[in-house]
Structure 1
Amino acid sequence: MDPIVATCLSGLELGQPQRFGNLVVFPLFTSLDVGPKYVTLSEALGEGVLEVTELHESGSVPELKIANRGKRRVLLLDGEELVGAKQNRVLNTTILLKRGPRRSYR
């Protein structure tokens, strides 16, 4: 067996079955120290590492500039509201934002 797969499987623990009608789900838990390599929009805003501004001085509804100054990527989920700039916007797509300079999005 592949060593990476073996390590992952050795850290799994089967949880108690969860039942709903005819459906039974067994949760899997891990003892390995793993987690997402990103932060959420609210975490990034709370840490002060995300800057959302208008793309142009006059503003354009479907466009924004986003700068991620944090050390990790930021997950922006479809349906989240970006508050500020000239008006609030609701995302219509999910974006995993890289660390780095400003990027523009439509």
Structure 2
Amino acid sequence: MPDESDGPVWPPAMFTQGFQQAGEEALTRQQEFVQQLFGSDGSSTSIPSRLGAMSQMAMFKTRVQSGGRISIPDAEREALDIDEGDIVQTVVIPIKRNRDDDSND
């Protein structure tokens, strides 16, 4: 029988709620993009002109720095016209963990 004191020290509901909200926001933005791209609004605008919506998004890899900071590469900041102090929305997906203590297991 497992001991109940071995459970997580943080409330799983808090993590789940934050993750679900981020996922819902990302899904909503993707749906809006597809609607704009394929003209579900009934407009006769061409697909190339709708591709302009993609110019407001970027995907890139970056490393987590001390204190949990991440950096947006220069090329992406310039392409998206992002300046210091601007507020941006991010979705973070870990792709590789680089920890010394994991390699010893």
Q: TM-score range by the shorter chain?
A: under 0.3
Which has the bigger relative contact order, CA under 8 A and spacing at least 6?
1
Query: In proportion to residue count, which structure has more strand?
Result: 1
TM-score scaled to structure 2, two decimals? 0.22
TM-score scaled to structure 1, two decimals? 0.22
Query: In proportion to residue count, which structure has more helix?
Result: 2
